[in-house]
Amino acid sequence: MNSCTPTRRRLSAYLDGELDPTGRGEVEAHLLACERCRKLKGELSAADSWLLSAPVPEPTVADTAAFLNRLHKKLDVRCPQPVSLPAASPRSRFSIALPWAFAGFAAMALLVVVPGLHRSSSPEPRMELASARRAGPSGAGPSAAGDVTGAPAALEEASGTRKNEARVASVAVPSPAASARPASHDPLVATQAQLAKLEEQIRELERSVVTFTAQARLESQARTQEFASRRFVPWRDLEPSR
C-alpha cells in the first residue's frame, strides 16, 4: 500500500477539524514531505470554499411534492394499517372474576358452618351421667337393715337388694370403654377437619388467583410491546433519499 493512502483518507477529516492532535500532527508531517498530497489538499480546500459560497436553491413545488410522495410510500410500507388490540371477551372477564367469587363463597361457608358445629357439640356424656345418677336412688329397693337372726326369707330379700344396688351402680357409672367415643364421631375433631379442609381450599384459590393475575399481566405487556413495535417508525427512515 502506498504511504500516501492513509493521509489521503484523512484529508477530509483534517480539513473539517475532526482529527485529534496526534492524527493532525501526522497528516501535517506527511504534507510537508509530499507535494502530491499538498496539491490534493489544496483542491479539496477550493472545493469546500466553492460549496460554501454557492447559492442555495429554493425548493420548487415539484421537489416538495416528490419528497412528500416518497415519504408517504415509506410510511405505507412500514405500517399499512393501524394495529388494534382485540377486545376482551365476556368469557375472559368471567374467568377473572370466578376465583374471587369462589373465595367469597368459601369465607361465607366458614362463617355459617363453624358456629353451627360449635352449638351441635354439646356435652352428651355429662347429660347421660347425670341422668344415670338421678335414676340410682329411685331404683334402690327396701333397706336390708333388719334382724340378722331372722328367717331365711329375710336373707334372700337382702341378697336381692344387694344385687339390685350393684346393677344400678353399674348403670350409673359407665365404664371407661363404654364412655370413650371413637375419634371419628367426636364433633370437635370433625369441626377441626372441616376447618382444615376449608383453609386448604382457600389457599388453593389464592394461589390460582395469583397465577392467573401474573399470566394476565404478562400477556398484557406482550401485547403492548407488540403494538408499540408495529406502530414505531424510525426517524432515519423518514429522511428523504438524496
pLDDT (tens digit per residue) in 178-189: 444 555 567 888
Is 158 within a domain? Answer: no
Q: Is 10 exposed, middle or buried (0-12, 13-18, 19+ CB in 10 A)?
A: middle
Is 173 within a domain? Answer: no
Buried residues in 16-46 as b, exposed as e (16+ CB within 10 A): eeebeeeeeeebeebbeebeebeebbeeeee
**For residue 171, what pLDDT is reported?**
47
The rounded distance, in Å, linking the Cα atoms of 45 and 40 is 9
**For residue 20, what pLDDT is reported?**
93
Is 76 within a domain? Answer: yes
Residue 19 to residues 3, 10, 11, 29, 86, Cα–Cα distance (Å): 19, 8, 10, 14, 55
Is 161 within a domain? Answer: no
Kindly state whether residues 112 and 188 are assigned to the same domain.
Answer: yes
Is 218 within a domain? Answer: yes
**For residue 128, what pLDDT is reported?**
55
Kindly state whether residues 100 and 216 are assigned to the same domain.
Answer: yes
The rounded distance, in Å, linking the Cα atoms of 239 and 242 is 9
The rounded distance, in Å, linking the Cα atoms of 74 and 72 is 5
Kindly state whether residues 83 and 134 are assigned to the same domain.
Answer: yes
Alpha-carbon dihedral 30, 35, 36, 41, rounded to 10 degrees: 70
pTM of the model: 0.27
Question: Hey, what's the cell of 130?
Answer: 347425670
Give the range of the structural domain holding residue 127, as residue numbers without chain letter.
60-138+182-242
Kindly state whether residues 84 and 193 are assigned to the same domain.
Answer: yes
Kindly state whether residues 35 and 65 are assigned to the same domain.
Answer: no
CB atoms within 10 A of CB 99: 19
Average the pLDDT over each of 53-62, 153-162, 203-212 and give the range with the smallest value.
153-162
Per the structure, the count of domains in the chain is 2
Is 159 within a domain? Answer: no
The rounded distance, in Å, linking the Cα atoms of 112 and 180 is 30
Q: What share of the chain in percent tops pLDDT 70?
A: 48
Kindly state whether residues 112 and 202 are assigned to the same domain.
Answer: yes
Kindly state whether residues 102 and 206 are assigned to the same domain.
Answer: yes
Whether the pLDDT of residue 170 is over 90: the answer is no
Is 153 within a domain? Answer: no
